[in-house]
Structure 1
Amino acid sequence: MSYVNNVKMFVRVYELGSMSAAARDQRTSPAVASARVAEMEKHLGVRLFNRTTRSLHPTESGRLFYEGALKVLDAIDAAEAAVVSATQSPRGTVFVAAPLGIGRRLIAPAVPAFKDAYPQIDVRLRLSDRVIDVAGEGLDVAFHLGILEDSSLKVRVIAECPRVLCAAPDYIARRGMPEDGAALVAGHDCLTLRFPGAKEFQWTLQTPEGPRRFEISGPFESDDGDVLTGWALDGRGVVMKPLFEVAEYLRDGRLQIVAEASPPVPAQLSCLYPHRRFKDPKIRVFVDFMAARCKAEIGAALLPG
């Protein structure tokens, strides 16, 4: 087995705290991951992890070796990136995750054009509105829409995304036009995005006193943002969406903006990736390409229809 591959496996086991998670990250089996770590321990003559049937913890030797191993891998990554940039086009596979709305409207439509521009790079795109564990799921890039909390990942902000509260005309005719967030809470059905870890049952809206969180509720909820848009079009309630996702419905009148006195706080579209991976040319060109496309599409939604 390659010594460098063994070092890479050790680093991922250390970072993820699991042989199986590291194996998924490196796209191999837990048996191979365990064998590579065992070979490292035999070579070094020390135990790198204390193992039980249910847990795995680095030893003091493991912690010391991890610090040095990171520097070695960083140097190798930088050297490989320099050679590839100087001698050949980027190549390989990029593993990407994105929320459903962003993925369907911004990322997926741009993938064929990216493939045309970089024919030696393959894209594996996974769409989900659930919370993604970038490192644990072996991803190279993950797109995120929202107010990003502290992250151990490298973050690139792509664009600010205005959001709107909107409902169908027949819903407004039946239930009245909510003027602000207080009116929404008092007497309207709000369509909520719910999944483990989600916080969209609280909408942060702008008020004269500053941003304020409103506890919203309603009879309909889903873990798919496009389902919420469909319910809104069907007159079932008020939905909060990025403007670019509903711009066409606002232009043709199928949805109308509501609660204009309390517009949502804008969200940021960002991409996240493990620090070392952005040195890989294929990751860098993918992120640059998609960032430019996303900015253009989001900007187009702001233009008058």
Structure 2
Amino acid sequence: MPYLESLKVFVRVVELGSITSGGRDLRLTPAVASKRIKELEKRLDVRLFNRTTRKLSPTDVGRTFYEHAKQVVQSIDDAEAAISGFSQSPRGIVQVTAPLGVGKRLVAPLIPEFVDLYPEVSVRLRLSDRKVDLLEDGLDVALFVGRPPDSNLKLRKIMDTPRILCAAPSYLERHGVPQIPDDLKRHNCLLLRYPRSPEWYWTLSTSEGPKRMDVSGSYDSDDGDVLTGWACAGRGIINKPRFDVAEHLANGTLVEILPETPPEPAVFGCLYPHRRFQDSKVRLFIDFLLKRCREKLA
């Protein structure tokens, strides 16, 4: 088992780029993670990493060993997943990621409920509005709102959710209410932006079909909740799933604009590697999440 644990640490250190990150991902201290790497190098009698004060990178031997080690670790994970359904109760860790707003308001409150049902399962929730790589980051399930990505991942759709454009009354009083989509070109549009972000433009649904609007503004962020805060403060117009701003619409902090030409609807769903669905705890979590999200959003 110590050798297997060392292999797992080694694989995650290579994938995450540091001993601290690799250890944290496996809930080990940096000291323990470093010890595992040293034990592995001693056993193999090779140097697996080039170390400097600023960077840790695998040696040529380390890269070769990684390609084989990750297959060993994955095979063991698959073997455990294949027999997990025969256990009296699911156990282990489910790694989950979700967008910030959806994660805070919808997913996070449901996780204690799931753990109460399956107390031997631990759920690790990572929230980010950036794109993630499930396989590279070692994740089991990723919630998303938007267009389903083209990938080999499996998709379970929770529902199609309408998106809306909205702004604070104070902003509209100062700058006027857009009457047609082209009016957005002279308004301050608040954009969700990060490397490889899709929101350099908005696509609106019109009677003539989808209309691409190249919008711009003085503010952008990689955190959707920050954009909502700026919109509530009267700083511009946001493009959001309706359920994500429902409370602000209900209390009048934000008002919908251009309701006749709304943004194209988004898919709200979850992605997962096909093999993960063999694991009973992952399968149970996905089924639970879909059922409870649909109930809450109905």
Task: Verify same fold: TM over 0.5.
Answer: yes
Question: Are 2:290 and 1:291 equivalent residues in the alignment?
Answer: yes
CA RMSD across the alignment: 3.7
Secondary structure, counterpart of 1:257 in structure 2: strand
The separation in 1 between residues aligned to 2:30 and 2:228, in whole angstroms, is 41
2:58 — aligned with what? Answer: 57
Decide whether the 8 Å contact of 1:184 with 1:259 is kept in 2.
no
Which residue identity lines up with residue 91 of structure 1 in the other structure? R
Which residue identity lines up with residue 35 of structure 1 in the other structure? K
Aligned pair in 2 of structure 1 residues 51, 168: CA closer, same or farther (>3 Å)? closer
The separation in 2 between residues aligned to 1:48 and 1:205, in whole angstroms, is 55
1:225 — aligned with what? Answer: 224
1:121 — aligned with what? Answer: 121
TM-score between both structures, scaled by the size of structure 1:
0.75
Task: Using the aligned pairs only, state the percent identity.
Answer: 49
Question: Are 2:173 and 1:156 equivalent residues in the alignment?
Answer: no
Decide whether the 8 Å contact of 1:185 with 1:217 is kept in 2.
no
Secondary structure, counterpart of 2:86 in structure 1: helix
Give a deviation string over 1:190-245, Cα, whole Å, max 9, x none.
Answer: 33445676554533334536452422215x65555345445545655322110212
Give structure 1 stretches of 5+ with no counterpart.
Answer: 301-305
Question: Are 2:9 and 1:9 equivalent residues in the alignment?
Answer: yes
The separation in 2 between residues aligned to 1:291 and 1:192, in whole angstroms, is 28
Decide whether the 8 Å contact of 2:182 with 2:213 is kept in 1.
no
Aligned pair in 2 of structure 1 residues 260, 279: CA closer, same or farther (>3 Å)? same
Q: State the shift of 1:168 in Å.
A: 4.5
Count of aligned positions: 294
The separation in 2 between residues aligned to 1:223 and 1:56, in whole angstroms, is 28
Give a deviation string over 1:54-73, Cα, whole Å, max 9, x none.
Answer: 342342x5455444434433
Secondary structure, counterpart of 1:78 in structure 2: helix
Once the two structures are superposed, the pairs formed by residues 76-91 of structure 1 within 5 Å of their partners are 76-91=76-91
1:37 — aligned with what? Answer: 37
Once the two structures are superposed, the pairs formed by residues 1-305 of structure 1 within 5 Å of their partners are 2-45=2-45, 47=46, 49-53=48-52, 54-59=55-60, 61-129=61-129, 140-147=140-147, 154=153, 156-159=155-158, 160-168=160-168, 171-172=171-172, 175-186=175-186, 188-193=187-192, 200=199, 202-206=201-205, 208=208, 210-218=210-218, 224-233=223-232, 236-247=235-246, 250=249, 255-260=254-259, 262-272=261-271, 279-298=278-297, 300=298
Which residue identity lines up with residue 179 of structure 2 in the other structure? E
Decide whether the 8 Å contact of 1:25 with 1:136 is kept in 2.
no
The separation in 2 between residues aligned to 1:95 and 1:121, in whole angstroms, is 11
Which residue identity lines up with residue 32 of structure 1 in the other structure? V
Give structure 2 stretches of 5+ with no counterpart.
Answer: none
1:303 — aligned with what? Answer: none
The separation in 1 between residues aligned to 2:97 and 2:279, in whole angstroms, is 18
Aligned pair in 2 of structure 1 residues 39, 126: CA closer, same or farther (>3 Å)? closer
TM-score between both structures, scaled by the size of structure 2:
0.76
Aligned pair in 2 of structure 1 residues 35, 213: CA closer, same or farther (>3 Å)? farther
Q: State the shift of 1:86 in Å.
A: 0.9
Secondary structure, counterpart of 2:214 in structure 1: strand
Which residue identity lines up with residue 105 of structure 1 in the other structure? R
Secondary structure, counterpart of 1:143 in structure 2: strand
